[in-house]
Structure 1
């Protein structure tokens, strides 16, 4: 998934980006609200991590202004622990908040929870026909068989799973899987799709190539 981190603390930002990258997430980084606006005008994001106090303004004010047209879920990062501050962030449109300093495990859990709620699910699992995709464990279960996936395979399959039956172009997949500072071509998408195809072969799923348009995931009928 592709995240936007809006945070001016470089040390914290680098740590967050590194941690999320271990799970295969792509993270774009903005240090100001102006940079965040530029990112949002150029790309789509699955989740925004938004600091409160930034060099050019208050993240909560930015969120309140943006909510009229911004549907992307937002987790506010704040050093303020007062109940009124947290309530204010939620009332201004935040989907959740986390207080600094925070544990990375909690941050990851809150990201998963927000994405689950937006996807209408209460669990870290997506049913694809007879196959259960566990996003937290990074596994596919089909009958008595369990297949473990690598981080990039998990994120690629997650994109397909969250858009069942939808054709995803190579450019859309690039946008969902890679940040601005990652040099990648459409050939790389072909390689990743090919690897995932081989991994899921024989467990009730297949990735169909739609000539000239892209790819979509299909469930196989036994």
Structure 2
């Protein structure tokens, strides 16, 4: 899942991005309101974490524009703010925010609130992905094949999640690198191919049979083939 974090405190941005990335999310960041609004309107996000007091354009205005647009009308938004007055919290919720968390906060609480919003969101994706005997629980971050537990690294789990969510769709190496590694793909690196090879080996340990297939000159696809 892809999140947008709009926060003008650089150290807070870095801390939250690292923690959310380790929790399995792909995170884009913006350090000012103008950039945050542009990203929120131009990109598809599963959830937006939004500070209220921002340089250029404040969080209230960003949310107002977002709710008026077709692309961001249903995107869950969680406000972060040092403004803890009841009137501020009510104002944020009335504008269309889904939650409001007052600074300072514990990262564990932020993560729990994000997961709660994603579970109940109107456009929520499935929590459990299944292809034949391969089963992946997104929230529990567990994967099994033929009921045998797969021991995946965080990156391998994210890679498998992407492939399974886009079942039957050929994903290019550049798109996989962008979604899983949050980086631009360099044709001179084989990071995607190496990761796919390791993931295939782990998936096929309990049960033989390929579910991830290479498509020559195009990329990779996850699907059951007869």
- Determine the structure 2 residue equivalent to 1:103: 106
> Normalized against structure 1, the TM-score is what?
0.80
Q: Distance in 2 between matches of 1:171 and 1:73?
A: 27
- Determine the structure 1 residue equivalent to 2:174: 171
Q: How many residues align?
A: 217
More strand by share: 1
Q: Structure 1: which 5+ residue stretches go unaligned?
A: none
Q: Structure 2: which 5+ residue stretches go unaligned?
A: none
Q: Distance in 2 between matches of 1:81 and 1:12?
A: 18
1 or 2 for the larger relative contact order (CA 8 Å, sep ≥6)? 1
Aligned with 1:102: secondary structure? coil
| 1:69 corresponds to 2:70 | yes
- Determine the structure 1 residue equivalent to 2:58: 58
RMSD: 2.8
Q: Distance in 1 between matches of 2:139 and 2:128?
A: 8
Q: Distance in 2 between matches of 1:190 and 1:89?
A: 45
CA contact (8 A) 1:6 1:33 kept: yes
CA contact (8 A) 2:177 2:184 kept: no
Structure number with greater Rg is 2
Return the offset for 1:44.
Answer: 4.4
Alignment of 1:53-202 (within 5 A): 53-67=53-67, 68-71=69-72, 72-116=75-119, 117=121, 118-121=123-126, 124-179=127-182, 182=183, 184-185=185-186, 187-201=190-204, 202=206
- Could you report, residue by residue, the CA deviation over 1:51-97 in whole angstroms, capped at 9, with x for unpaired residues? 11101122121121123133343322123344543343334333433
